[in-house]
């Protein structure tokens, strides 16, 4: 016998999220649960599979012929030919990705206080904490949450001063990474990409952007 109580709130929420009927606030709550709660994410995946046969009712429709190009320009900006390698713009991908990212950064207003920021990405288990001590001129990164980069991979850290090209700070392993940095002004972006072991051989990010934050001010 079907009864509302037969379907737990969590199962009901998962089904309703997949169905799509929820208002935005509840959808966003469900999306946060998917990111943080593997059991809930599994309920959602089950409903996606269950309702997937409905997808056959969707037809096919060609988007504008230039859409792929627009996507690629956004994700993979062409290197500027006259620039040294490290100046190759990493910005396009970053700007694109940032739009989809939840950014969390907080900072004290005094220039001589510690700056802390958290690098996060949407649907991304990796969380990297950054801590800048202006007196020591040291920027320290810690992998706060999430798995290691995996075999043959490394997390590579980048600093992107406002309006300038990305500069690699090195790769982040299980232990903290500390680099010398004179200042960390507002508008600076900190980002992590997934690269081959040892980091991108070209000095330009090649792998996907995982997490990022923009230092506020």
Partner 1 sequence: MSDPDPIADLIQKVAVADRAAFRALYSSASGKLFAIAVRILQDRTEAEDAVQEVFTRVWLNARRFDPAKARGMTWLIAVARNHAIDRLRARPAPTDGDDAMANLRDPTPGAEAQLTAKGEARRIGDCFSTLEPAKADAIKGAYLNGLSYEDLSARHDVPLNTMRSWLRRGLLKLKECLEA
Secondary structure, 3-state, 6-36: HCCHHHHHHHHHHHCCCCHHHHHHHHHHHHH
CA distances for 26 relative to 16, 40, 116, angstroms? 10, 14, 30
Site for partner 1 (CB under 8 A): which residue of 32, 36, 51, 108? Answer: 51
Q: How far apart are the first and last CA of the chain?
A: 59
CA distances for 187 relative to 105, 126, 145, 198, angstroms? 11, 22, 25, 28
Site for partner 1 (CB under 8 A): which residue of 79, 84, 91, 97? Answer: 97
Nearest distance from C-beta of residue 114 to partner 1, angstroms: 30
Question: For residues 95 and 114, which CB has a smaller minimum distance to partner 1 in the complex?
Answer: 95
Site for partner 1 (CB under 8 A): which residue of 52, 114, 136, 162? Answer: 52
Nearest distance from C-beta of residue 133 to partner 1, angstroms: 31
123 near partner 1 (CB under 8 A):
yes
12 near partner 1 (CB under 8 A):
yes
53 near partner 1 (CB under 8 A):
yes
29 near partner 1 (CB under 8 A):
no
């Amino acid at each position: 016998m079907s009864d509302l109580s037969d379907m737990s709130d969590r199962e009901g929420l998962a089904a309703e999220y997949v169905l799509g009927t929820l208002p935005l606030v509840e959808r966003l709550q469900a999306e946060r649960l998917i990111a943080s709660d593997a059991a809930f994410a599994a309920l959602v995946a089950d409903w996606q599979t269950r309702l997937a046969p409905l997808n056959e009712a969707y037809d096919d429709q060609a988007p504008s012929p230039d859409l792929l190009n627009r996507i690629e320009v956004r994700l993979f900006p062409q290197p500027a030919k006259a620039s040294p390698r490290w100046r190759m713009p990493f910005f396009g991908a970053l700007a694109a990705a940032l739009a989809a990212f939840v950014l969390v950064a907080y900072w004290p207003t005094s220039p001589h206080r510690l700056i802390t920021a958290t690098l996060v990405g949407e649907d991304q288990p990796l969380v990297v904490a950054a801590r800048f001590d202006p007196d020591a001129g040291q920027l320290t990164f810690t992998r706060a949450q999430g798995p290691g980069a995996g075999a043959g991979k490394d997390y590579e850290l980048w600093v992107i001063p406002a309006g300038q090209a990305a500069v690699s700070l090195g790769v982040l392993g299980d232990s903290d990474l500390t680099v010398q940095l004179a200042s960390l002004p507002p508008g600076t972006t900190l980002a992590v990409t997934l690269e081959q072991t040892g980091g991108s051989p070209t000095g330009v990010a090649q792998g996907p952007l995982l997490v990022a934050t923009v230092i506020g001010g």
